[in-house]
């Protein structure tokens, strides 16, 4: 059995990923701190205020801070999760990121309108799944799998943090959906495990966090938004809005991605993950609207703007991701920071 096999068997405790190379002053300072090389102070407000909130440095620094609450990093002590200096820097980065999101989202519609927008796909067919079903190559589908792996290998984990912060029907509805996300009690059917199988079928490495060095800021921003909303009770409404956006938009996108995988000859095993989401999320879309969002707003109407923000910010970052990724493909470039061949993978 290889090291990869040992680290990816269902039910095992996988080894945490290694710390990635830095991408600027902020992420370098965080990495040095996690390696025990920086016992002094970390960058303060002036350094954060001039950084690009969507840029590589900010997004990697945020990811590093958030990952301490998930699997952590190889060689980094668990106690780093509550390093006060790291938490202060993370708070500054979060404020910078959220300020940009709120400015770019603009005026927020009522939650009902925000959800209605999600139910109607744009007529111009933008998005990575639209591109891949029409023009995508197997290489691009493998790149897409790598880009999504940062989130999909921990698929439902951030949303679980909202459960202690909900009550009544909203809590029960959320738990009903999450039971499916975790395989209905079967480890091999957990959606994160299905994604690991998707990676294997594409001759990619299924280890958690393996591809972090290859994944750029647009994909990290999508994952970081989830953690930003999940780790703060005050943003529970926005996390529900984010969750609703994912569940509502998933079935049509998953159907296109499954078709693209079959068209390029990737095989049934590679398409299985998306086949599962076409069926499961069609049910989840109804549940999240009627058994999570509606009862939450009935109980806490003051969260209406937060729910709308969560949905709007999700759509905004997904559009930015699609623009960056399809723009690279259309110009003949890789959408990754390094081509897959440079990471010891297959074809």
pLDDT tens-digit profile of 221-251? 999 999 999 999 999 999 999 999 999 988 8
In the predicted structure, residue 326 carries a pLDDT above the cut 80: yes
Q: Are 219 and 147 in contact (CB under 8 A)?
A: yes
What six digits make up the tokens of 321? 């991701």
- At 139 the pLDDT is 95
In the predicted structure, residue 124 carries a pLDDT above the cut 90: no
Q: Are 329 and 132 in contact (CB under 8 A)?
A: no
- Residues 200-213 have a mean pLDDT of 96
Domain boundaries, the chain: 22-104, 109-343
Q: Look at residues 80, 76, 89, 118 and name the one whose alpha carbon lies nearest to residue 25.
A: 89
Could you read off the pLDDT of 179-206 as tens digits, one per residue? 988 888 899 999 999 999 999 999 999 9
Residues 6+ apart with CB under 8 A from 320: 54, 218, 221
Residues 6+ apart with CB under 8 A from 18: 73, 74, 75, 209
Q: How confident is the model at residue 122 (pLDDT cuts 50, 70, 90)?
A: low
Q: Are 236 and 303 in contact (CB under 8 A)?
A: yes
In the predicted structure, residue 88 carries a pLDDT above the cut 90: yes
Neighbouring C-beta atoms of residue 298, cutoff 10 Å: 11
Could you read off the pLDDT of 1-28 as tens digits, one per residue? 444 554 555 545 678 999 999 999 999 9
Q: Look at residues 121, 154, 137 and name the one whose alpha carbon lies nearest to residue 250.
A: 121
- Residues 141-169 have a mean pLDDT of 95
What six digits make up the tokens of 62? 């945020």
- Range 109-343: architecture per CATH: Up-down Bundle (1.20)
Longest dimension (CA), the chain: 55
Distance from C-alpha of 192 to C-alpha of 206, rounded to nearest angstrom:
10
- At 50 the pLDDT is 97
- At 277 the pLDDT is 86
Element (H, E) at 306: helix 304-330
More confident: 121 or 84: 84
Distance from C-alpha of 273 to C-alpha of 255, rounded to nearest angstrom:
10
Q: How confident is the model at residue 346 (pLDDT cuts 50, 70, 90)?
A: very low
Question: Which range is least confidently modeled, 14-23, 268-277, 282-291?
Answer: 282-291
Question: Which range is least confidently modeled, 63-67, 97-101, 272-276?
Answer: 272-276
Q: Look at residues 102, 29, 39 and name the one whose alpha carbon lies nearest to residue 62.
A: 29
């Amino acid at each position: 059995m290889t090291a990869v096999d040992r680290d990816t068997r269902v039910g095992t405790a996988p080894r945490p990923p290694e710390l990635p190379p830095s991408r600027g002053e902020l992420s370098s300072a965080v990495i040095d701190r996690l390696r025990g090389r920086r016992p002094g102070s970390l960058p303060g407000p002036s350094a954060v205020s001039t950084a690009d909130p969507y840029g590589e440095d900010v997004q990697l620094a945020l990811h590093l801070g958030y990952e301490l609450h998930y699997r952590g990093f190889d060689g980094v002590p668990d106690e780093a999760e509550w390093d006060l200096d790291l938490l202060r820097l993370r708070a500054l980065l979060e404020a910078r990121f959220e300020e940009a999101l709120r400015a770019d989202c603009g005026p927020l519609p009522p939650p009902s309108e925000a959800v209605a927008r999600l139910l109607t796909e744009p007529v111009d067919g933008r998005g990575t799944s639209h591109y891949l079903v029409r023009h995508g190559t197997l290489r691009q589908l493998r790149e897409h799998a790598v880009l999504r792996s940062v989130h999909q290998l921990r698929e439902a984990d951030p949303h679980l943090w909202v459960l202690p912060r909900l009550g009544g029907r909203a809590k029960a509805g959320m738990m009903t959906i999450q039971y499916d996300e975790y395989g209905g009690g079967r480890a091999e059917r957990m959606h994160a495990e299905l994604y690991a199988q998707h990676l294997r079928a594409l001759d990619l490495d299924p280890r958690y966090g393996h591809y972090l060095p290859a994944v750029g800021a647009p994909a990290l921003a999508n994952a970081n938004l989830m953690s930003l909303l999940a780790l703060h009770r005050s943003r529970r409404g926005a996390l529900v809005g984010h969750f609703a956006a994912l569940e509502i938009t998933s079935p049509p996108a998953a159907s296109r991605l499954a078709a693209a995988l079959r068209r390029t000859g990737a095989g049934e095993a590679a398409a299985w993950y998306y086949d599962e989401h076409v069926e499961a999320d069609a049910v989840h879309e109804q549940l999240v609207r009627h058994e999570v969002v509606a009862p939450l707003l009935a109980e806490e109407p003051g969260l209406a703007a937060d729910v709308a923000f969560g949905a709007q910010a999700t759509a905004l970052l997904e559009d930015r991701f699609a623009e960056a990724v399809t723009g690279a493909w259309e110009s003949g470039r890789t959408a990754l920071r390094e081509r897959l061949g440079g990471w010891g993978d297959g074809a």
